[in-house]
Structure 1
């Protein structure tokens, strides 16, 4: 098993039936995931006893760069040191990292541009941008809203605005709730665990703006608010980890949601939406693919086909203890605005 500390150092843990009788040969190879990854940029090797070892972080300037680390561990008995066991292997991939000060400065730069765009939208439409956040259980809806709130505040340590829960069968968000930020409102919604008839009707009510804050999914049809303006667009969240583990089920779910979006108001309009593929960091971290970013690209392309839209982008959500990353900042706020091929959410929503 490979884990990391906040300083991007590696903690390696392994098992062996006779650890006291063995010496372990550990090798870590660091690759640049933006290259063909044919040769490692850096290799570290050690010999140690015991069943764990802490590899310190890479030296600057490589410490902050994105990397794929491939780890191998071989065992050799102390009384036969030249004879080694077959290697046990593991791999992790991480996006780049920034210091707290650099991360804040980078966020502030992106937010200045975004604030101008949101202000233009508000002046043109008479109210600030409002988007629904929808998706299945535990795909990161509330965490995403907390993440955007932190980005808008340019402060990763700000408290959560919405409660979140670890993955499980129970739903966390029980009722609709609008979180307002400068120039932007996001509406957290109860999960749509499947696209049953009831779920389709609930989603249609949300798109029509007929549901006010505090409504529970079962009461959407009863708690209609005809004086409330509908949202401008919807953000559909799909966990990359769920997509990798349950591709057929998630494909059917996305296709069904897209059908509702493209036939809103009884088939009269296409409701603007984007798909955000969440848990990018977890997906890459546990990828065993020879080229993890190629696996990510493949997953995004499959999600585009399922949702019948090109507007699909991978993101990671900042938590209160997260380290800043220029990649996360870019994909969360501005990427694609200048043709970079990343998350074009804000640009798309302003065209609705």
Structure 2
């Protein structure tokens, strides 16, 4: 019988703010604080899964549609977007985060520093670290960056799987090398420097391999991939090669395990019948390359197809049970669950 382990999880990536925004006004609209039968995260299921918080992404789709209308593989989903369009949607998603905090301040809080994160988790509040996935909302002069920072933004993924003025994104293609296109533009390199100076984390997930190496050369902070996996296990363009993992390890960085089945499975298929053992294989490889301080969780809940054994956020203890059965001790489980993210965030100056 599976025993639910008390491993708190600080998650490197979820798209719950977008899910709430796109469900608003539809027959799937619901309160985050009530248990739902769709989506991956709500407050009751988060508590059941020992979910303590994480990077809450503000992702702007190229094609705005209700979640149930989304069609995977539609080229329109990867079309470029304008800065005004992206900024408007980003502000709406940030408003979703503020609304959650305002509705239940005793259980939800937006965190701006490492101290805030520790305080939230110690008082059993879900800690939200606001993150942009794809920097289209940011203007070339970085005025918007400073404004969003003042409102709580603390992490940016420079690109999603499309090009913008800062760089190119890797396609969601398997099998494929992540070396699929150009790296960062001059504006992208300046954005990395601006984030380093301001105190905003830079996420290398979704970058092409050239873009990754550009960040590695420019950034003075530990390299982080909030939601990426091992290319040696699943040869998707979205995953990280061993050479990239070596660079992350050398920088003292962290990689969050992505739960999307197409980034987990060796065949890259969209098949939810993916066993926990496949997830453990990625963790094994990441620990081998990054060490016990370099591996964390980056689920991509509410933005991906997760393995059936996990199902939603309430299934997180099943992964840690599988890790325990694979020989992972309690200390390492706690590092993977939350301590590694909290450590690298603090070491990055937040």
**Which TM-score applies when normalising by structure 1?**
0.36
* Greater C-alpha radius of gyration: 1
**Larger helix fraction of residues:** 2
**Which TM-score applies when normalising by structure 2?**
0.36
Larger RCO: 1 or 2 (CA < 8 Å, sep 6+): 2
